Amino acid sequence: MFGQLSHETEVKVGAGKAWELYGTLKLALLAKQELSHVIVDILEGDGGVGTLVKLTFERLSFTEKYTKVDHERRVKETEAIEGGLLDMGLTLFRVRLEVIGEDKEESCVLKSTIEYEVADGASSDVSIISIKPLADIAEIAKEHFTASVGAN
């Protein structure tokens, strides 16, 4: 069984400015700083393809690998490679972060998508999969951009 969840948030900065945060490890560091219920450990890498990050939530911990960082299209994808939902019967857990818009515009959209697949015959409880952590990160990014604009 394949499933998908997504969330969009509009922010009042151009896409290039938003990608400076979303396309780098700065987003993981911001989440680590602002979300007390999430532990973020950068295990390896500089934010490019191959970077490994361990995420720990209240009931779940997994390691993800950056599999795509497309600066031109402003798309970053990660896939869980160990732990968490994979231990519960999922064969795929992918997160896609996109910044949609133009540099010269005064706003853009932060789109977060989760794609998952449950192994045939597995009895995984997919209700545990939630877009909320990514929506929370988008809101923190929005607050970050608002504070940055106000500081200028």
Just list the catalytic residues. Answer: 76
Yes or no: say if 147 and 22 are a contact pair by the CB < 8 Å rule.
Answer: no
d(CA 136, CA 106): 22
Can you list the alpha helix ranges (DSSP code H) found in the chain? 15-22, 26-34, 132-151
C-alpha to C-alpha distance for 71 and 143, rounded to whole angstroms: 23
Tokens at 39, concatenated: 């532990």
Contact in structure between 6 and 112 (CB atoms under 8 Å): yes
